Amino acid sequence: MGVLPMADRPRGHAGWTVWSHSVPSKLLIVSVEVAAAVSLAASVAVFRGTWRDAVTCGLVVACGLAAAEVSRRAELRRRLFADTPHVNFSSVWTLAGALVLPPALAAVVTVVLYAHLWWRSATADGYVSRFTFNACNVILSCHGTAWVAGELGLLPLDPAVTVHEAALLVATIAVYFLVNSAIAAVSIALVRDDHSPRQLLGSLTENLLELATLCLGAITALLLAWQPALIVLIFVPLYAVHRTVLPRQLEHAATTDVKTGLLNAVAWRALAEAELERVDRRGGEAGILMIDLDHFRRINNDFGHLAGDAALRAVADAIRGEVPDCERLCGRFGGEEFVVTVPGASAETLERVAGRICRAITRLRVTGIHDRPGARPLSASIGGALYPAVGPTLQEVLLAADAALLAAKYAGRNRVRVRASA
């Protein structure tokens, strides 16, 4: 389930962030909530539940609450580090409810689980409107999934599924995933300036995690339809997923520069050292680029520090676009300086890569800078150095690249200089 990242939850009236959003955001929020209310009212109007349905609903709610309590501390830490749509594990229970319960009771599961989530997260950031919107998103996802499953002839769910029925079950999982992700993505697009796929849809890891959670939800539904007591078996894989996700997220937070999403200086150094060690073992060369954004102080002074941060993010994206495997090769060195490791590079290759980055940066148009009068195109000066030609250590290569960078600055900026020998 995708929700707004912590940093993008603006403050409004006590507990209700909706009042601080733009008009389009308010319209979306109200539209989703009205649609969920209408869907819920329609499901109540045709409700013909049984005592068995009520008992199953109680079992799903109890398991969902127990799972939430067991994982509460880990989930809180994960939320603190989330800067993209956050995936929680309630989808296991909400999807199961959508597949085995009448829509009205599936909505009850969602409301209780999200009310509990709000209650256990009730801090200065625990806004009622955010949890209400997310619950409405899930209700629409559940009702859409149940409708599709019914139209496909999957309901009532039979645990003895055929290959054809298994394929249809996968299709219903896809419906839940797409409806939920689409609503979350549109809401994020309306409240923040960064419209990159990662910010709107979440990282690949988070999306795979959501799909894994939904698969567990489908298995839970099959267990409920077959032998409800066996639902306890879901807790073991669910707990195992929890145990593996948080350390990876903490590792990502410890190695990533917050403003740009590139490696931070410490992590980049460690990976650059490893690359140079590979060169020592196997022979060949490697290059290091140091990139410095020209006149960055002027950007901060003329347009403000938020515009400066936007420029840094834009430059980082430009570098990503020109450097394959940027996740392990590119970093923010500090301030407005970036560094890139170029494996197997000759002097010509290093100069060619640096030239592409230079040109990509000059093509950038940054909101908050280039939509205002007097703005100049961004530019960067780049210095490069080859290992082991300029020295036997990373520090010496960095010093040589820094000297080449200064030469590029003195030569007029927005250009490249490469040191190919000591």
Q: List residues bridging with 417 in a β-sheet.
A: 383
Where in the chain are the domains?
Answer: 6-252, 265-419
Which helix H or strand E contains 61, and what residues bound it? helix 51-70
The tokens of 284 are what? 């060949």
The dihedral formed by the CA atoms of 123, 124, 125 and 129, expressed in degrees to the nearest 10: 100
Query: What pTM was computed for the model?
Result: 0.62
Q: In this predicted structure, what is the pLDDT of residue 373?
A: 84
Q: In this predicted structure, what is the pLDDT of residue 325?
A: 86
Contact 201, 85 (CB under 8 A): yes
Residue whose entry in the numeric block shows the structure tokens 């040109």 = 359
- Which of 158, 125, 170, 136 has the alpha carbon at shortest distance from 29? 136
Q: In this predicted structure, what is the pLDDT of residue 406?
A: 97
Residue 203: count of CB within 10 angstroms of its CB: 19
Backbone angles phi, psi at 419, to 5 degrees: -100, 115
CA angle 179, 109, 164 (to 5 degrees): 55
| Strands of 272-379, DSSP E | 286-293, 330-334, 337-343
Q: Collapse the DSSP code of 221 into the 3-class scheme (helix H, G, I; strand E, B; otherwise coil) and give the result.
A: helix
- CA distances 26 to 1, 32, 346, Å, are 20, 10, 54
| C-alpha dihedral sign at 295, 297, 302, 305 | positive
CA angle 403, 404, 406 (to 5 degrees): 65
Strand order in the sheet with 380-387: 330-334, 337-343, 286-293, 380-387, 416-419
Spatial distance between the Cα atoms of 280 and 358, rounded to a whole number of angstroms: 30
Q: How is the chain split among helix, strand and coil, in percent rounded to 5?
A: 65, 10, 25
Q: In this predicted structure, what is the pLDDT of residue 14?
A: 40
Which helix H or strand E contains 365, and what residues bound it? none
Q: In this predicted structure, what is the pLDDT of residue 1?
A: 52
Q: In this predicted structure, what is the pLDDT of residue 268?
A: 95
Q: pLDDT tens, 341-387?
A: 999 989 999 999 999 999 999 999 998 898 888 789 999 999 999 99
Q: Splitting the chain (422 residues) into consecutive groups of 10 residues, what average pLDDT does each group show?
A: 43 46 82 96 93 96 91 63 64 96 97 90 60 93 96 90 92 96 88 68 80 94 93 87 66 80 93 92 93 94 91 95 90 95 93 96 92 89 96 95 96 95 80
Q: Collapse the DSSP code of 86 into the 3-class scheme (helix H, G, I; strand E, B; otherwise coil) and give the result.
A: coil
Contact 209, 245 (CB under 8 A): yes
Q: pLDDT tens, 257-303?
A: 989 989 999 999 999 999 999 999 888 899 999 999 999 999 999 89
CATH (one of 3.30.70.270, 3.40.50.620, 3.40.190.10, 3.40.1190.10) for 265-419: 3.30.70.270
Question: What DSSP character marks residue 369?
Answer: T
